[in-house]
Copies of this chain bind each other. A is one copy, B any other.
Amino acid sequence: MSAALPCIPTSAIPKRGRRKDARPGELLDAALDLFVDKGYAATRVEEVAARAGVSKGTLFLYFPSKQELFKAVVRQNIAGRFAEWDLELESYVGTSQDLVRYCFETWWERIGSTKASGLGKLMLSEANNFPEIAEFYRHEVVEPGHQLIRRVLQRGMDRGELRALDLEHAVYLVLAPLMFLMFSQSTPALCIPNAERFSPQEYIRLQADNVLQGLCVRSA
């Protein structure tokens, strides 16, 4: 950091006043933090509003309910990005081995290592208590995610690069390691006892290596 860089105030944002365009984003950011940190039920909307620098009433101006707020958080951070990822997959040029490896690494960069990964753990914890939200998540996140991996594997089989396997169970060769890492991120104590010697990147590389060794057609 160069020396005399003038200290830009964290925000020149007037806390009072009309900032209609900025509000939703600020609220979603605050909500993501709190939801991930404390869970859905334990997060109070007033707290979300406070963290975003507005009053409780203002939050309800932009999101009609706590549930909708949560859904919006999920949409912004995960669900809404599948369209882009699907496109990326369609236009991928290269071997399926590379594609699989790319999936592992990209997932880590875009989801696993971000706050979004807290949402997965959150959903797992609260699914039973909020069936409607769970259904939303299943439909908007879980389903598309499975489809994405399924297509990756199908592509590999079609091209003769991956062994022909029962897709229904094979998707979990990719998903299980990712999901476990996701949960680990939120609760490392219970998943990764020696956290200090653990490197997510190394984990990702090893899991990708492993799954490919297993999936690759034997070149004899």
Contacts and interface: CB of A to CB of B under 8 A. Distances in A.
Contacts of A169: 198-199, 202-203, 206
Interface string A142-176: 11001000000000000000000110111011011
A209 interface: yes
Interface stretch (A18-26, A49-57, A98-106, A182-190): A182-190
A126 B124 CA distance: 11
**Identical copies of this chain, number:** 4
Nearest to A141: B190
Q: Is the interface of A mostly helix, strand, loop or mixed?
A: helix
A190 B127 contact: yes
A135 B193 CA distance: 10
Report the interface size class on chain A. 35 or more
Given A180-B179, A197-B168, A199-B169, A42 B128 contact: yes
Interface string A88-121: 0000000000000000000000000000000001
Interface stretch (A7-15, A60-68, A77-85, A210-218): A210-218
Which 10 A-B pairs rank lowest in CB-CB distance, beginning with the nearest? A213-B214, A210-B214, A125-B125, A176-B180, A214-B214, A176-B177, A127-B187, A169-B206, A168-B197, A143-B193
